[in-house]
């Protein structure tokens, strides 16, 4: 194979194509709008002329002799009966017309001014800087002139009507007039307006010849019915040719000026929509079905256009996509792949003396007997499909130098991805595990980096095809190597939801676990020995939850930290914490404290952080596997559920809540009457109304919080929702307050709800009512149920949240695109500096400190303290 | 035109707490930095001559300015910029 060295592009030049050049590059003039004759053969000088290239197999190109697939296609041309404006340059024409003399075509500037601007343009060009600003100044200055200094002609105001109409003195300028004016501009003047007279004469913007794109660019497709369906571009070209012909006939027949102008306008319309079918002010040309045609601009623009859709991003082979579902029994770096998918995706094996027997076995198994092989490529490059019937024969034929596409099997490295791919952990390398059923399976501990859940999310899977790609994936992208996030220097993979609840229940309870249960809890982990029992009950040994958890901790681990459930007491009692919130792990034994989000949760896990930074990712990975499995068994051991009864508040608490609410309501009433009486004390920098609003909001939110506190006192740690909120598994105490006690103020843009009917929010209230209920305060709890007005206000507040998210995602998506485009080629050099492809320095030291944020301690400069601790020993 | 501040109360950019220290590199320092990174002056990040901080230390076009910033993770972070028009 010849490896071509990539060539460096030195220069790109843009310009306009002259009519002469259009004709030169054309292989035929197109005069008839018809495409095929009755025999289905392309008509000569028609839009499908075989000189323009061929798309039907069997035919040969009349220009190059190539068959379909070989012939690249060739341009033709249409001679326009009357010139038309190129929409893409309509604004430029306006500028040029206004800057040049209507009679002699001179640029309306003094000679010395022209010289000055030209020099400026030349220096800017030399420095590779944009000349836009100077050119715009030239146009602005030239427009000011009232008379031509060269011929004395008085200039007229030129009005521009979108998209392609120019009006001078109530008199419409025809493209012919415009073209003849542009022709008069001298080469010297053209340079002053920033154009290149050799490559872009202004009159070339007014089209007299229209190039006809090659047939290969607009292939027709044959429908099942045998009917031909033409490309949108062909449809548009048909329109142009028809009108062009009609125009000519009418003009030759001496039709009245009015009709000629109408036809001219129509020709302009068709050429405009041929170039761009989404010009504002021009009704888009439509297909018979009513669908707007996709013409030249539409092929290039936007997400699905040529640049973003076909060049920067393409569709790929060796990939699969399906719904995901959880499987805590998989290891975190595994991905469960449906058998059907595994049979379809392949890896190419080169047959060598070392793998000959193995390869033969794959081929023998054929395509239906996983893991088998789907194709072989013989030494001469011929591809042969392996079928049930030829697999045995082919297996015997396989020899060195052949290639075999074997099906992927357990242990193969694949890339797994969930969109939107916002950070590098959105694509990670997993090892596959072929499983029955139709979904991709993944350990729920890897949901956070993908931001995945299982409400119908789909994910993509890609199979790397070369040894280099596989090695790179395994070394750089493997899940194990991405447990730490470079965003904040802590673990992003770890326990979520039930993992946290499960281990919390296990390690926080005083339950005595007998041998049977202890072994049951640890069954899925590879631990086969138990610690010394904690004691005996009824002559039976028992173990504590902490001891069971200790079994999955690696020996040699020493840690002390405050758990998530820590109440941040004024003076921390440390090991004597009555909430068991101070965690002490000594030599891999959990001596004190409760395991919760702070210990094993994704984003916060202190244990995982330590394991990766001071042990290795292998041990950390094993720990997550064990922790997820143990936690699921732990939660099943005691059972865990949440229902409407868990929101029950005893009557005495309910009456306390009612009391608080009534008091708050009273206070609000007082504030309002003070306001109305003009006795309200104004806050600095606020109007009186603003002050009132703020005071009311403050009062009501205080009331809501204290109802929450009352509810919280009656819902203790025996309540599932409280366990989840306190341990950090899911939800918050606020959620619980809203369910059990009071939903609280509904806000729009951070203010009470004000809009609605004249003078009031809803017709249920009196005009001018400033009270809490009239402005979106929801006194009820979700359990007690909302009143109709409360329900309505709640819907208003809820809608704001939805709108916000929709707006935010689109904005952040665009921001992301711009950032990625700006930063994608930056590289950290060996000297620690960050440079771009031009070798310009962006940073002298990567991130100011030269530190890989993944290895920093939660982005804090604490490495030194950690080292000291490990040498001196952690103080008790 | 902006009104003149009363004497002794002019705004001094370099004294503002958000403005890091700026200083002009001398010949040897510059040579050392350039060889350390193996670059030409033009490959450095730029600062305008009209930049308030650059004007304050009277940096001229072609000078290289050293900017010393406080950094929460690195302590002191040093940056260089070439003065341009
Ligand atoms: Mg989802
Ligand atoms: Zn051809
Ligand atoms: Zn003139
Ligand atoms: Zn505490």
pLDDT tens readout for residues A216-266: 999 888 888 878 888 889 999 999 999 999 999 998 888 888 888 989 999
Distance, C-alpha A648 to centroid of its chain: 43
To probe the interface with B, which of A848, A850, A862 has the most B CB atoms within 10 Å?
Answer: A848
Tens-digit pLDDT profile for residues B4-63: 666 677 788 888 889 999 999 999 999 999 999 999 888 999 999 999 999 999 999 899
Mean per-residue pLDDT, A276-301: 88
Q: Calculate the average pLDDT of chain A.
A: 89
Nearest to A395 by CA among A425, A361, A429: A361
Q: For chain B, give every domain's residue range.
A: 14-84
- pLDDT given at position A347: 94
Neighbouring C-beta atoms of residue A410, cutoff 10 Å: 13
The closest ligand to the CA of A324 turns out to be 1
Ligand at minimal distance from the CA of A142 is: 3
Compute and round to an integer the Cα radius of gyration of chain A.
38
Greater pLDDT, A58 or A137: A137
Domain(s) labelled CATH 1.10.274.100 in chain A stretch across 498-638
pTM: 0.77
Given 2.40.50.100, 1.10.3720.10, 3.20.10.10, 1.10.132.30, which CATH number is that of A645-800? 1.10.132.30
A221 touches chain B (CB under 8 A): no
CA-to-CA separations, A867 to A857, A861, A862, A873, A874, in angstroms, rounded = 12, 12, 9, 10, 11
The strand pairing partners of A590, in sequence order, are A585
Residues of chain A in contact with residue B30, where contact means CB-CB under 8 angstroms, are: none
Instruction: Name the β-bridge partners of B78.
Output: B68
Helix (H, G, I), strand (E, B) or coil at A112: helix
Please check whether residue A202 is in contact with residue A185, taking contact to mean a CB–CB distance below 8 angstroms: yes
Banded model confidence at residue B3, pLDDT cuts 50, 70, 90: low
pLDDT value for A358: 92
Quick one: which ligand is closest to A75's CA?
2
Picking from A770, A768, A761, the residue whose alpha carbon sits closest to that of residue A699 is A770
- The string of pLDDT tens digits covering residues A84-142 is 999 999 999 999 988 888 888 888 888 888 888 888 888 888 877 788 888 898 888 88
Asked if A844 lies within 8 A of B37 by C-beta distance, the reply is: yes
Contact A336, A327 (CB under 8 A): yes
* Residue A664 tokens, joined: 């708050």
Tell the CATH superfamily of the A498-638 domain: RNA polymerase Rpb1, domain 3 (1.10.274.100)
Query: Which residues make beta-bridge pairs with A834?
Result: A828, A843
Q: How far is B56 from chain A (nearest CA, A)?
A: 24
Q: Is the pLDDT of residue A397 over 70?
A: yes
Mean pLDDT for A712-736 is: 88
- Check if A832 contacts B (Cβ < 8 Å): no
The answer to whether A39 contacts chain B (CB < 8 Å) is: no
pLDDT for A876: 45
pLDDT (tens digit, 9 = 90+) per residue, A600-640?
Answer: 998 889 899 989 988 899 999 999 999 999 999 989 988 99
Q: What is the mean pLDDT of chain B?
A: 88
Q: Which residues of B fall within a CB distance of 8 Å from A843?
A: 79
Residue among B27, B25, B67, B26 at smallest CA distance from B45 = B67
Q: Judge: B73–A848 Cβ closer than 8 Å, yes or no.
A: yes
Is A129's Cβ below 8 Å from some Cβ in B?
A: no
A875: pLDDT confidence band, cut at 50, 70 and 90?
Answer: low
The percentage of chain A sitting over the pLDDT mark of 90, rounded to a whole number, equals 38
Counting residues of chain A whose pLDDT is more than 70, the rounded percentage is 99
Give chain B positions within 8 Å (CB) of A847.
73
Are B71 and A849 an interchain contact pair (Cβ–Cβ within 8 Å)? yes
Indicate the fold that domain B14-84 takes in CATH.
Eukaryotic RPB6 RNA polymerase subunit (3.90.940)
Chain B residues with CB inside 8 Å of A860's CB? 73
State whether residue A862 sits within 8 Å of chain B by CB: no
Cα A469 to Cα A463: distance, rounded to the nearest angstrom: 9
DSSP A531: -
Rounded Cα distance, A533 and A77, in Å: 92
Q: Is A861 in the B-facing interface, judged by CB distances under 8 Å?
A: yes
CA distance A298 to A409: 43
State both tokens at A483. 């447990």
Q: CA of A860 to nearest chain B CA: how many angstroms apart?
A: 7
Tens of pLDDT, residues A461-520 = 999 999 999 999 999 999 999 999 998 888 999 999 999 999 999 998 888 888 888 888
Tell me the range of A54-68, A342-356, A544-558 where mean pLDDT is highest.
A342-356
Contact list in A for residue B78 (CB cut-off 8 A) is 844-845
- What's the Cα-to-Cα distance from A834 to each of A826, A829, B65, B78, rounded to whole Å? 7, 6, 19, 14
- Measured distance CA(A863)–CA(A610) in Å, rounded: 12
- Do strands B75-84 and B46-48 pair parallel, antiparallel, or not at all (unpaired)? parallel
Residue numbers in A near B72 (CB within 8 A): 861
Tokens in use for A662?
A: 């009534």
pLDDT of residue A532: 78
Segment A551-569 mean pLDDT: 85
Q: How confident is the model at residue A62 (pLDDT cuts 50, 70, 90)?
A: confident
| ipTM here | 0.91
Between CA A846 and CA A858 the distance in angstroms is 18
Interval between CA A41 and ligand 2 midpoint (Å): 17
CA A433 to CA A417: how far, in whole Å?
16
Neighbours of A762 (CB within 10 A): 14
CA of B69 to the centre of ligand 3 (A): 60
Q: Testing the interface with B: which of A834, A840, A859, A864 to mutate, by most B Cβ within 10 A?
A: A840
For residue A455, the model assigns a pLDDT of 96
Separation of CA A442 and ligand 1 centre (Å): 14
Token pair for A588: 């891999």
Average the pLDDT over A12-36 and give the result: 89
Q: Which residues contact A856 (CB under 8 A, 6 or more apart)?
A: A489, A863, B73
- Compute the distance from residue A65 Cα to the ligand 1 centre, in Å: 55
pLDDT in tens, A132-182: 888 898 888 888 888 888 888 888 888 888 888 888 888 888 899 899 989
* CA atoms of A401 and A378, how far apart (whole Å): 8
Cβ(A856)–Cβ(B72) below 8 Å: no
Sheet with strand A582-586: strands edge to edge: A559-562, A582-586, A589-592
pLDDT at A269 over 50: yes
Three-state DSSP class for residue A180: helix
Interchain CB contacts (distance < 8 Å): A and B: 42
Residue A204: is it exposed, middle or buried by C-beta count within 10 angstroms (0-12/13-18/19+)?
buried
pLDDT at B4: 61
Average pLDDT over residues A319-337: 95
The CA distance from A832 to the nearest CA of chain B, in Å, is 10
Distance from Cα A141 to the centre of ligand 3, integer Å:
16
Contact A849 B44 (CB under 8 A): no
Out of B37, B43, B73, closest to residue A851 by CB:
B73
Distance A75 CA to ligand 1 centre (A): 49
Structure tokens at A49: 């002329």
The alpha-carbon gap from B65 to the nearest alpha carbon of chain A, in Å, equals 13
Evaluate if residue A2 carries a pLDDT over 70: no
Kindly state the helix (H) or strand (E) to which residue A166 belongs, with its residue range.
Answer: strand A165-168
Q: What is the per-residue pLDDT for A635? A: 92
List of long-range contacts for A359-366, beta carbons under 8 Å, 24+ apart: A359/A398, A359/A404, A359/A406, A360/A395, A360/A396, A360/A398, A361/A395, A362/A404, A362/A406, A362/A407, A363/A391, A363/A394, A363/A395, A363/A398, A363/A404, A364/A391, A364/A392, A364/A395, A365/A391, A366/A391
Least confident of A256-270, A398-412, A805-819, A850-864: A850-864
Is-cis flag, bond preceding A163, omega within 30? yes
Closest residue on chain B to A836 (Cα):
B43
**Cis ω for the linkage preceding A420 (within 30 of 0):** yes
DSSP three-state, residue A23: helix
Which chain A residue's Cα is nearest to B68? Answer: A848
* Closest residue in chain A to residue B37, using alpha carbons only: A831
Q: Which residues of B touch A850 (CB under 8 A)?
A: 74
Chain A residues inside the 8 Å CB shell of B38: 831
Tell whether A849 is within 8 A of chain B (Cβ). yes
A572-587 pLDDT per residue, tens? 777 777 788 888 898 8
Within 10 angstroms of residue A253's Cβ, the number of other Cβ atoms is: 8
Q: What is the DSSP letter of A67?
A: B
Among B77, B78, B81, B82, most A C-beta atoms within 10 A, so best to mutate, is: B77
Residues of B in contact with A858 (CB under 8 A): none
Domain with CATH 1.10.132.30 in chain A: 645-800
Residue A110: helix, strand or coil by DSSP? coil
**Whole-number pLDDT of residue A111:** 87
Which DSSP string do the residues of A351-419 spell out, in sequence order? --TTTHHHHHHHHHHTTTSSS-EEEEE-TTS-EEE--TTTHHHHHHH--TT-EEEEEP-TT-EEEEE-S
Q: How far is CA A142 from the centre of its chain?
A: 46
Q: Show residues of chain A in contact with B82, CB under 8 Å.
A: none
pLDDT tens digits for A772-820? 889 999 999 999 999 999 999 999 999 988 998 888 888 888 898 899 9
> Residue A41 pLDDT more than 70?
yes
Q: Which among A840, A856, A861 has CB closest to B43?
A: A840
pLDDT of residue A874: 57
CATH architecture of A319-482: Beta Barrel (2.40)
Q: Which two tokens stand for residue A735?
A: 């959620």
Contact B71 A840 (CB under 8 A): no
Q: Is the alpha carbon torsion for A312, A316, A320, A321 positive or negative?
A: positive
Question: What is the architecture, at CATH level 2, of domain A28-74+213-305?
Answer: Irregular (4.10)
Calpha distance A671→A698 (Å, rounded): 12
pLDDT tops 60 at residue B2: no
Identify the band that residue A873 occupies on the pLDDT scale cut at 50, 70 and 90.
low
Contacts of A713 (CB under 8 A, 6+ apart): A653
């Amino acid at each position: 194979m010849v490896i071509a060295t990539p060539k460096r592009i030195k220069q790109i030049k843009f310009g306009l194509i002259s009519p002469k050049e259009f004709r030169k590059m054309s292989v035929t003039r197109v005069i008839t709008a018809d495409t095929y004759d009755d025999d289905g053969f392309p008509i000569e000088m028609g839009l499908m002329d075989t000189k323009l290239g061929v798309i039907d197999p069997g035919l040969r190109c009349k220009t190059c002799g190539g068959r379909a697939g070989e012939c690249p296609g060739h341009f033709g041309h249409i001679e326009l009966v009357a010139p038309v404006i190129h929409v893409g340059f309509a604004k430029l024409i306006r500028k040029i017309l206004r800057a040049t003399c209507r009679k002699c075509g001179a640029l309306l500037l003094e000679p010395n001014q022209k010289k000055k601007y030209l020099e400026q343009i030349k220096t800017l060009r030399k420095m590779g800087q944009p000349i836009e600003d100077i050119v715009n100044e030239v146009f602005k200055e030239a427009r000011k002139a009232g008379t031509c200094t060269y011929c004395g002609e008085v200039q007229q105001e030129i009005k521009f009507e979108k998209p392609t109409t120019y009006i001078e003195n109530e008199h419409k300028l025809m493209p012919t007039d415009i073209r003849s004016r542009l022709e008069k501009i001298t080469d010297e003047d053209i340079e002053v307006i920033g154009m290149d007279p050799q490559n872009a004469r202004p009159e070339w913007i007014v089209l007299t010849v229209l190039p006809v794109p090659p047939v290969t660019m607009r292939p027709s497709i044959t429908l099942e019915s045998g009917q031909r369906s033409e490309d949108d571009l062909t449809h548009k070209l048909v329109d142009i040719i028809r009108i062009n012909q009609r125009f000519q006939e009418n003009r030759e027949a001496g039709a009245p000026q009015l009709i000629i102008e109408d036809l001219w306008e129509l020709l302009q319309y068709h050429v405009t929509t041929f170039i761009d079918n989404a010009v504002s002010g021009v009704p888009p040309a439509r297909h018979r079905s009513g669908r707007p045609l996709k013409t030249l601009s539409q092929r290039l623009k936007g997400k699905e256009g040529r640049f973003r859709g076909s060049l920067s991003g393409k569709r790929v082979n060796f990939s699969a996509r399906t719904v995901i579902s959880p499987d805590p029994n998989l290891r975190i770096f595994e991905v469960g792949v449906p058998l059907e998918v595994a049979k379809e995706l392949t890896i190419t094996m080169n047959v060598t003396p070392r793998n000959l027997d193995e390869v033969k076995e794959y081929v023998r198994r054929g395509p239906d007997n996983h893991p088998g092989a789907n194709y072989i490529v013989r030494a001469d490059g011929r591809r042969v499909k392996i079928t049930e019937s030829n697999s045995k024969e082919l297996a015997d034929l396989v020899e060195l130098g052949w290639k075999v596409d074997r099906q992927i099997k357990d242990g193969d490295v694949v890339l797994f991805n969930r969109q939107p791919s916002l950070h590098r952990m959105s694509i990670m390398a997993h090892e596959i595990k072929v499983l029955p059923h139709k979904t991709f399976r993944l350990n729920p501990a890897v949901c956070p980096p993908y931001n995945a859940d299982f409400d119908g999310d789909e994910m993509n899977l890609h199979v790397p095809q070369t040894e280099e790609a596989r090695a790179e994936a395994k070394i750089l992208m493997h899940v194990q190597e991405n447990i730490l996030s470079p965003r904040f220097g802590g673990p992003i993979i770890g326990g979520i939801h039930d993992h946290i609840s499960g281990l919390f229940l296990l390690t926080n309870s005083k339950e005595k676990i007998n041998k049977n249960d202890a072994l049951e809890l640890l069954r899925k982990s590879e631990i086969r020995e138990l610690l010394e029992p904690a004691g005996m009950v009824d002559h039976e040994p028992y173990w504590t939850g902490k001891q069971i958890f200790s079994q999955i901790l690696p020996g040699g681990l020493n840690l002390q930290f405050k758990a998530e459930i820590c109440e941040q007491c004024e003076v921390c009692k440390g090991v004597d914490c009555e909430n068991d919130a101070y965690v002490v792990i000594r030599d891999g034994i959990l001596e004190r404290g409760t395991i919760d989000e702070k210990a094993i949760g994704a984003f916060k896990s202190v244990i995982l952080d330590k394991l990766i930074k001071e042990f290795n990712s292998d041990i950390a990975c094993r720990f997550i596997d064990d922790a997820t499995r143990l936690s699921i068994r732990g939660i099943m051991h005691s059972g865990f559920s949440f229902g409407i009864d868990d929101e029950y508040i005893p009557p005495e608490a309910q009456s306390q809540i009612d009391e608080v609410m009534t008091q708050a309501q009273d206070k609000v009433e007082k504030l309002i009457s003070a306001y109305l009486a003009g006795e309200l004390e104004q806050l600095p920098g606020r109007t009186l109304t603003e002050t009132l609003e703020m005071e009311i909001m403050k009062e009501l939110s205080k009331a809501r919080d204290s109802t929450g506190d009352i509810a919280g006192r009656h819902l203790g740690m025996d309540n599932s929702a409280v366990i989840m909120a306190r341990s950090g598994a899911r939800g918050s105490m606020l959620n619980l307050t809203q369910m059990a006690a009071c939903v609280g103020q509904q806000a729009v843009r951070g203010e009470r709800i004000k809009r609605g009917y004249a003078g009031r929010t809803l017709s249920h209230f009196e005009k001018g009512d400033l009270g809490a209920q009239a402005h979106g305060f929801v006194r009820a709890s979700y359990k007690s149920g909302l009143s109709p007005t409360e329900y309505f206000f709640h819907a208003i507040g809820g809608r704001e949240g939805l709108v916000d998210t929709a707006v935010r995602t689109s904005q952040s998506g665009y921001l992301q695109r711009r950032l990625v485009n700006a930063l994608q080629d930056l590289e950290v050099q060996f000297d620690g500096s960050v440079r771009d492809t031009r070798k310009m320095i962006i940073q002298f030291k990567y991130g100011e400190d030269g530190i890989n944020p993944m290895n920093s301690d939660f982005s804090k400069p604490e490495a030194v303290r950690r080292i000291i601790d490990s040498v001196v020993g952690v103080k008790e | 035109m902006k009104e003149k501040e009363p004497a002794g109360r002019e705004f001094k950019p370099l004294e503002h707490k958000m403005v890091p220290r700026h200083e002009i590199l001398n010949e040897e320092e510059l040579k050392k930095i350039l060889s350390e990174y193996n670059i030409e002056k033009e490959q450095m990040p730029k600062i305008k001559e009209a930049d308030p901080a650059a004007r304050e230390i009277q940096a001229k076009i072609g000078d290289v300015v050293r900017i010393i910033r406080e950094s929460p993770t690195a302590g002191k972070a040093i940056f260089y910029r070439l003065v341009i028009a």
